[in-house]
C-alpha cells in the first residue's frame, strides 16, 4: 500500500465517457473497458466511490429547446445518471468487483438510498460505492455532487476523468493551438487565471473544503492507476 498516493477517492465519470465515439447512450465495449480500469485500481486496495454524470442520455440544452422548466429538465438528467449507475454497477460486478449503488432520490426497488454512514461502511468493507442521482436537487451539477460526496466521505482526492483532454489548459486546446497545459495549480491560481475547471458552485465547494483534485484523460489506458500511484499525469489542483 506504500506506493499509493490516495487511499480513498471519488472518481467522477461523465456520462459521455460511457458513450464512446457515438456521443450518446452506453457503448458496451467502452463501459466494459472503464469497468476493467476501475477493477485494476480497486485491486490495489483503494477505496473507490464513483459519481457518474448523465450527459450521454439527456442534455439540459434539449430541455431548453423545448422551453422546459429548468428543474424539470434537471430531474430528467438525474434519472439519466441513475441509468448510468445501474449500467456501471452491472459492468463492475461482471468483472468481480463488489458494488453498492446509492441514489440521492429514493427509489428503493432499484437501489439503496444515499446514506452517508452506510456509504462509508461499504467502502471500508471493500465495496465500490456508486453515487447516482446527482445531489438530488435541480440546479446542481454532477461535478458539485463529486465534491460534495468527497467532502462527506472524507476522500483523499477527487479524480476528474475527462474525455480526451489530459488536464487543465490556459485555453481550450481544441480551438487554441497556443493553449498551455498546467501540471500543478492552486485553487487561487484557478481564480486568478480565470480558468474554467468546474462550474462555480462545484469550484467554490472544492475551494472551501480543499480536497485535492486531479484532472486527467480517461481515454489513456492505465491513467486512473497512475493517478492513485502518484505519477505526474494530468493537472493536480491542491493548496
Ligand atoms: P452490510 O450491512 O455490510 O451487510 O451491507 P450489505 O449491503 O451487504 O447489506 P444489506 O443487507 O443492506 O444489502 C444487501 C443487498 O441489498 C445489497 O446489494 C444492497 O445494495 C441491497 N440493498 C440494501 N438496501 C437496499 C434498498 O433500500 N433498495 C435496494 N434496491 N437494494 C438495497
* pLDDT tens string 26-85: 999 999 999 999 999 999 999 999 999 999 999 888 998 999 999 999 999 999 999 999
Residue owning the nearest CA to atom 6 of ligand 1? 122
Spell out which residues line ligand 1, taking CB within 6 angstroms. 100, 108-113, 125
Residue owning the nearest CA to atom 23 of ligand 1? 112
Q: Ligand 1, residues 97, 100, 123: which to mutate, most atoms within 8 A of Cβ?
A: 100
pLDDT at residue 164, rounded to an integer: 86
Tens digits of residue pLDDT in 173-193: 889 999 999 999 998 899 899
Query: In sequence order, what are the residues at sequence separation of 6 or more whose Cβ sits closer than 8 angstroms to the Cβ of residue 117?
Result: none
Q: How far is the CA of 31 from the centre of ligand 1 (A)?
A: 24
pLDDT at residue 1, rounded to an integer: 47
ipTM of this predicted complex?
0.93
Q: Ligand 1, residues 108, 112, 124: which to mutate, most atoms within 8 A of Cβ?
A: 112
Q: Is pLDDT larger for residue 150 or for residue 164? A: 150
Which whole number is the average pLDDT over 181-210?
92
CA dihedral sign, ordered 85, 11, 141, 153: positive
Question: Looking at domain 8-237, does it have CATH number 3.40.1160.10?
Answer: yes
Q: How far apart are CA 142 and CA 199, in angstroms?
A: 10
Per DSSP bridges, beta strands 235-237 and 184-185 are parallel
Amino acid at each position: 500500500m506504500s506506493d499509493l498516493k490516495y487511499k480513498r477517492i471519488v472518481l467522477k465519470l461523465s456520462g459521455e465517457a460511457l458513450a464512446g465515439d457515438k456521443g450518446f447512450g452506453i457503448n458496451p465495449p467502452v463501459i466494459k473497458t472503464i469497468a476493467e480500469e476501475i477493477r485494476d485500481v480497486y485491486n490495489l486496495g483503494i477505496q473507490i466511490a464513483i459519481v457518474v454524470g448523465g450527459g450521454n442520455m439527456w442534455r439540459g440544452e434539449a430541455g431548453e429547446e423545448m422551453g422546459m422548466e429548468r428543474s424539470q429538465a434537471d430531474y430528467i438528467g438525474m434519472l439519466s445518471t441513475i441509468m448510468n449507475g445501474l449500467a456501471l454497477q452491472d459492468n463492475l460486478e461482471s468483472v468481480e468487483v463488489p458494488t453498492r449503488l446509492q441514489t440521492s432520490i429514493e427509489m428503493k426497488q432499484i437501489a439503496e438510498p444515499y446514506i452517508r454512514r452506510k456509504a462509508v461502511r461499504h467502502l471500508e468493507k471493500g465495496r465500490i460505492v456508486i453515487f447516482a442521482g446527482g445531489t438530488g436537487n435541480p440546479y446542481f451539477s454532477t461535478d458539485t455532487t463529486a465534491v460534495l460526496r468527497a467532502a462527506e466521505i472524507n476522500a483523499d482526492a477527487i479524480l476528474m476523468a475527462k474525455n480526451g483532454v489530459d488536464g487543465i489548459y490556459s485555453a481550450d486546446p481544441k480551438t487554441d493551438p497556443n493553449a498551455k497545459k498546467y501540471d500543478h495549480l492552486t485553487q487561487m491560481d484557478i481564480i486568478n487565471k480565470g480558468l474554467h475547471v468546474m462550474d462555480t458552485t462545484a469550484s467554490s465547494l472544492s475551494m472551501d473544503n480543499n480536497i485535492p483534485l486531479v484532472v486527467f484523460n480517461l481515454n489513456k489506458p492505465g491513467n486512473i492507476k497512475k493517478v492513485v500511484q502518484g505519477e505526474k499525469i494530468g493537472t493536480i489542483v491542491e493548496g
